[in-house]
A and B are shown apart, each in its own frame.
Chain A
Amino acid sequence: MRAIRHAQLGQLVTLARLAALATVLLLPAALRGQGVNSVVWRMRGTLVADKQSANDVGWTGVSIGFTGQADNKVRWLGAVHAETFGGDTFDAWSYVSKVAHYTPTFTVAGPPDLASQLLALPDGSRVALEGVLDPGARILLLDAVKPLPKPGGS
């Protein structure tokens, strides 16, 4: 009797593992089928205090949230340039324009050191953000946070 129960438990564990594996393997394909692709992303702009300032210094204000932070903890970026892999500004504009009304527009999912670096930059900083963006989920996984020189090279 105990042997039978043990065998049934083993089958359940195997089934659960297969289900987990199938989820991991098939979910990305399912998302791609819905037109949700991750794209290599580069965006440049000026960090400012609020939405109004972001719209004043950039083509559009982009708000950036952070996982693990309070919902209202966002950095506002006056975006002056956005491009996907290969320098495509057309797709990049399309992605931003579709989600610019959300706050936050994008949520930084990490890594923690780059998220902290972005959070710590003072208002007025010019910055280039590079990483991988999931436009559908509006999640940005940073690869680099590059402070840029201000006008006059300071």
Chain B
Amino acid sequence: MRPRTRVLLVLAILGVIPVSAQTFRGGTKPYVLQGKLAKDQSGAQQSGWLAVSIGTLGKPDTPVRWVGVTAFNTWDDDPFEGRQVLSGLMPDQPTLLVDGPAGLLAQLQKAPVGNKVVLRGMLVPESRNFLLSGVQVVPASAKMPK
């Protein structure tokens, strides 16, 4: 083995050189989630691409909300990154931990099952914290306003 190769091998073993693909996290940035509120995981799986559970940060006793996600985009409308980031949070539960103004948290908590929901906020993928800046709830039969 050449000395140069030997040095590179040692560095790789020590972790100085990353030799395996890192899980893509995407960084902290605003996201928009669209989906339908469901009673449970099974219901969420039948109402969207992906079933996600939403807990409340610092309140483990608050029941999680299940959502069948129909879209998850970055603030600049990149669904490729959105899917990658959201998939990277699976399968741990809850998928997201929301925090934010009490009014928004209450709006999400009280929204009826079957309703459509749009959540806007800042996602920190490493901690799965989703700091809400907007919650929109629309009846199932209504069209989602643009």
B-contacting residues of A (Cβ < 8 Å)? Answer: 44, 46, 58-60, 80-81, 83, 86-90, 92-93, 126, 148, 151
Residues of A close to B48: CB separation below 8 A: 93
A86-B143, A93-B70, A151-B80 known, 8 other contacts, Cβ within 8 Å = A59-B49, A80-B82, A81-B79, A88-B143, A89-B34, A89-B144, A90-B36, A92-B70
Residues of A close to B4: CB separation below 8 A: none
Q: Quick check: A59 and B83 within 8 Å, CB to CB?
A: yes
Q: Quick check: A126 and B80 within 8 Å, CB to CB?
A: yes
Whether A93 contacts B49 in the complex (CB less than 8 A), given A87-B144, A88-B143, comes out as: yes
Q: How far is the CA of A46 from the CA of B82 in the complex (A)?
A: 14
B50 interfacial contact with A, CB 8 Å: yes
A-contacting residues of B (Cβ < 8 Å)? Answer: 34, 36, 47-50, 70-71, 73, 79-83, 116, 143-144, 146
Q: How far is the CA of A24 from the CA of B100 in the complex (A)?
A: 56
Residues of B close to A81: CB separation below 8 A: 71, 73, 79
Q: How far is the CA of A60 from the CA of B79 in the complex (A)?
A: 13
Q: Quick check: B71 and A86 within 8 Å, CB to CB?
A: no
Whether A90 contacts B144 in the complex (CB less than 8 A), given A59-B49, A59-B50, A81-B73, comes out as: yes
Q: Quick check: B80 and A44 within 8 Å, CB to CB?
A: yes
